[in-house]
Amino acid sequence: MLYIVSTPIGNMKDITLRAIDVLKSVDLIAAEDTRHTGVLCKEYGITAPLTSYYDHNESGKSRELVEQLKAGKNIALVSDAGTPGINDPGYRLVSLAKAEGVEMCVIPGACAVIAALSLSALPTDRFAFYGFLPVKSGARRKKILQAAEAGGTAIFYESTHRLLKALKDIEDVLHDPVITVARELTKKFEERRDGKASELLAHFTAHKPLGEFVILFHIES
């Protein structure tokens, strides 16, 4: 059985009882970064062996793990934070496992997209997640426009060092809409900040952006 297990996105207590049970019981944990997951395992007394499964070894490692699964092993897939496959490794293993008829089971839990959406106070009936905004400004602007044209609530992950550029592009491309920035969810400095893109740009220019960010906006369609 392949277990797809969500782990915390900051606060170590955001893990389900079932996730802990599964991680304690499996033969192997496939982790994005074994040192990172090692900290979680230590916290919860999880002693299952860890093996690394990350972006650059996903293809070969997926085949190896699927062979073990087919031989009857129970394996848990985890990423560094949140839900595997959501802007984290996982997709290749899960799709190969499906193709090979391996049984799978999901242990849901923390995910920054959903945490940010539920905290945003924006409409939740129709939303789209676009992952990280592109690094290059032209592609970033295009993505922002496409998301706005699609309508509903658009959600993006953004890194600390590109936040200001993303806010500036949203201001320019969408004529300074009201947006939400969710920062450091579940952690000590958790913050939700709403306002025009230009206002948030001014705020984060004055207060150096630190931590992990989700950007959201809602466009009526």
State the residues that interact with ligand SAM by CB under 6 A.
9-10, 79, 81-83, 86-88, 111-113, 157-159, 182-187, 212-214
Q: How far is the CB of 75 from ligand SAM (least distance, A)?
A: 18
> Quick one: 148 or 155, whose CB is closer to ligand SAM?
155
Residue among 108, 95, 107, 103 nearest 1 (CA): 103
20 or 185: whose CB is closer to ligand SAM? 185
Q: Which is nearer to ligand SAM, 2 or 111 (CB)?
A: 111
CB of 64 to ligand SAM, least distance (A): 22
Segments in 71-179 forming alpha helices (H): 91-99, 112-120, 137-150, 163-173
- Shortest distance, position 51 Cβ to ligand SAM, whole Å: 19
Q: Nearest to residue 140, comparing CAs of 123, 157, 153, 126?
A: 157
Q: Are strands 152-158 and 127-132 parallel, antiparallel or unpaired?
A: parallel
- In angstroms, what is the minimal distance from the CB of 83 to ligand SAM? 4
Residues 6+ away with beta carbon under 8 Å from 92? 58, 59, 62
Q: Which is nearer to ligand SAM, 118 or 175 (CB)?
A: 118
Provide the minimum distance between the beta carbon of 80 and ligand SAM in the complex, in angstroms, as a whole number.
7
Instruction: Name the nearest CA neighbour of 18 among 110, 81, 109, 101.
Output: 109
- Of 41 and 216, the one with the shorter C-beta distance to ligand SAM is 216
CB of 46 to ligand SAM, least distance (A): 19
Residue number, 68 or 127, with CB nearest to ligand SAM? 127
CA distance linking residue 49 with residue 24, whole number of Å: 10
Distance CA 215, CA 221 (A): 19
CB 182 within 8 A of CB 216: yes
Would you say 204 or 213 has its CB closer to ligand SAM?
Answer: 213
Q: How far is the CB of 11 from ligand SAM (least distance, A)?
A: 8
Give the list of residues 6+ apart from residue 134 with CB closer than 8 angstroms, or none: 140, 142, 143
